[in-house]
């Protein structure tokens, strides 16, 4: 058994053979036989201590070395290793960091640290000439033309993200009715409503009447409809060769999982806008409840008019406007900054309709009619139908898998492409989404129909 001790004073141990001596310096740490160590502790020559942490020693050495670079190498290494005994550590291989990117001839930080240790010995120090700062007299790596181009660059083990998926809005998560199922579908009975007028589905056809004393009650017949959600599957598949799995510094399985999740959730978001409902969620662009606001007669191609915005705003139910949001292609939002309305009652006839982000709106988004305007790539370009929308996603219903198979499921197999030396990574996710509304609803007074989903028709001849 051995024990780590730190000497509190210099000590010389004499061996059995004449002239054989072992010197121990004050402050140095050594690992020695436990019985001898306990005797030294009892004599007050040393005290028990923990095994030195190699990482701390190397970090201290490296920091002090660079701090004293202007001093002579001999002085800096002696200062760095003062109090560290020879033979008490093994230099591990450490990853090269940014500070030591240029190692001045050393293959790695481990080799550099080993050279510093040898140079810092109290007896027989060996100073590697690469520790000395010298101006190159011939070919060198400090100048690209004189040799720097011949040195391969260090490759980072990080992969930088160039897209904006991390900041993408989760439209699916905005649904007001979120359902889960352990099976494949969910059928929900719902009340139908097509008009606010009596007898046309308001409150599920439940109607109340004013009656006098002893008057006969009138019955109501409640009508129901079925709202069906069925899980649809989003998939992703990738292959990677055995060589890449073995040789790459990147964890390929982890990278594929991250990318697959991003790709799947991006597709789910897109379906909330343009999904057909066949084998995928039903997007509001294709939903029967969506109101398509017509362009103004004679309106020029690819334009946005104040009248378009007013008509869209008032196609939304009044009680839902406070939480509705404008979603538009970014080219539409750019054009909105030039949209004005005429106020003939004042001498100043032009006033802006759109408030840009910050400033007056005090928001990261601009605003129209007091509601945020959010750019999204899921809207078609300027002039196309649905390039600007006024939507309340709380009127959506979603369904996801619960229990086994919930979330994004991942599986990998070496058998699919075994003869080709490839591993297959497979991912799938199941969900559905549909508007709660069967169709637009007519006002109590008048014939105007309104909906939580409003879009502007195309302005292209």
**pLDDT (tens digit, 0 to 9) for every residue of the chain, 461 residues total?**
778 888 888 877 765 555 566 777 788 887 877 878 887 888 788 888 887 765 555 555 555 544 444 444 445 444 444 444 444 333 333 333 443 444 556 666 556 656 665 666 666 677 776 666 555 666 555 566 655 555 555 545 555 555 555 557 899 999 988 988 888 888 876 666 777 766 665 666 677 778 888 888 887 777 667 778 899 999 988 888 877 777 665 677 777 788 888 889 999 999 999 999 999 999 999 999 999 999 988 888 999 988 899 999 999 999 999 999 999 999 999 998 888 776 555 555 566 777 777 655 556 778 888 899 999 999 999 999 999 999 999 999 999 988 777 788 888 787 777 777 888 888 889 999 999 888 898 888 888 999 999 999 998 86
Kind and range of the H or E element at 41? helix 34-42
What is the 8-class DSSP label of residue 172? G
The whole-number pLDDT of residue 163 equals 58
**Last-in-domain residue among 87, 115, 135:** 135
Residue 380 lies in a domain: yes
Q: Are residues 228 and 117 in the same domain?
A: no
Q: Could you tell me which residues are beta bridge partners of residue 235?
A: 428
Residue 403 lies in a domain: yes
Residue 64 lies in a domain: yes
Q: Are residues 257 and 113 in the same domain?
A: no
Residue 143 lies in a domain: no
Q: Are residues 100 and 240 in the same domain?
A: no
Residue 446 lies in a domain: yes
Instruction: Show the domain range for 454.
Output: 171-461
Q: Are residues 219 and 326 in the same domain?
A: yes
Residue 151 lies in a domain: no
Q: How far apart are CA 417 and CA 424, in angstroms?
A: 7
Q: Are residues 12 and 93 in the same domain?
A: yes
Q: Are residues 91 and 209 in the same domain?
A: no
How many domains, the chain? 2
Q: Output the domain CATH number for residue 195.
A: 3.30.2400.10
Residue 85 lies in a domain: yes
Q: Are residues 201 and 93 in the same domain?
A: no
Q: Are residues 283 and 424 in the same domain?
A: yes
Q: Are residues 366 and 224 in the same domain?
A: yes
Residue 153 lies in a domain: no
Q: Could you tell me which residues are beta bridge partners of residue 200?
A: none
**Last-in-domain residue among 82, 114, 135:** 135
The whole-number pLDDT of residue 79 equals 47
pTM: 0.60
Q: Are residues 319 and 455 in the same domain?
A: yes
Torsion, Cα 15 17 22 23, to 10 degrees, reads 100
Compute the chain's Rg from CA coordinates: 38
The whole-number pLDDT of residue 205 equals 66
């Amino acid at each position: 058994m051995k024990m780590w001790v730190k000497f509190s004073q210099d000590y010389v141990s004499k061996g059995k053979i004449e002239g054989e001596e072992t010197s121990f310096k004050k402050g140095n740490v050594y690992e020695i036989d436990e019985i001898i160590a306990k005797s030294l502790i009892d004599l007050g020559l040393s005290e028990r201590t923990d095994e030195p942490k190699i990482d701390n020693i190397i970090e201290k050495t490296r920091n002090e070395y660079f701090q004293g670079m202007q001093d002579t190498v001999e002085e800096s290494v002696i200062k760095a290793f003062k109090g560290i005994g020879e033979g008490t550590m093994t230099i591990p291989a450490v990853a090269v960091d940014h500070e030591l990117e240029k190692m001045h001839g050393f293959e790695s930080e481990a080799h550099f640290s080993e050279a510093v240790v040898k140079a810092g010995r109290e007896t027989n120090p060996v100073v590697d000439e690469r520790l000395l700062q010298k101006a190159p007299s011939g070919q060198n790596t400090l100048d690209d033309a004189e040799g720097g181009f011949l040195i391969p660059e260090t490759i980072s083990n990080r992969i930088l993200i160039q897209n904006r998926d991390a900041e993408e809005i989760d439209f699916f998560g905005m649904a007001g009715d979120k359902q889960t199922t352990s099976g494949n579908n969910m059928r929900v009975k719902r009340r139908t409503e097509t008009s606010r007028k009596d007898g046309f589905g308001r409150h599920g056809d439940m109607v109340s009447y004013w009656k006098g004393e002893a008057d006969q009650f009138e019955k109501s017949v409640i009508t129901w409809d079925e709202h069906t959600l069925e899980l649809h599957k989003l998939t992703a598949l990738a292959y990677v060769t055995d060589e890449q799995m073995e040789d790459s510094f990147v964890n390929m399985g982890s990278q594929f999982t991250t990318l697959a999740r991003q790709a799947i959730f991006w597709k789910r978001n897109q379906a909330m806008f343009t999904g057909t409902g066949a084998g995928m969620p039903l997007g509001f662009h294709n939903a029967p409840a969506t109101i398509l606001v017509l362009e103004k007669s004679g309106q020029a191609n690819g334009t946005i008019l104040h009248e378009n915005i007013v008509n869209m705003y008032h196609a939304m139910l009044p009680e839902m406007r406070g939480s509705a949001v404008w979603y538009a292609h970014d080219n539409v939002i750019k054009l909105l900054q030039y949209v004005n309305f005429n106020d003939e009652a004042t001498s100043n006839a032009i006033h802006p309709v759109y408030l840009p982000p910050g400033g007056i709106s005090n928001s990261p988004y601009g605003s129209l009619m007091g509601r945020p305007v959010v750019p999204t790539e899921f809207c078609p370009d300027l002039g196309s139908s649905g390039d600007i929308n006024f939507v309340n996603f709380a009127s959506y219903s979603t369904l996801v898998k619960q229990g086994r198979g919930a979330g994004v499921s991942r599986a990998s197999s070496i058998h699919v492409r075994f003869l080709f030396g490839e591993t297959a990574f497979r991912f799938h996710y199941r969900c559905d989404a549909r508007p709660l509304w069967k169709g637009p609803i007519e006002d109590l007074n008048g014939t105007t129909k309104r909906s939580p989903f409003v879009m502007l028709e195309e302005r292209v001849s």
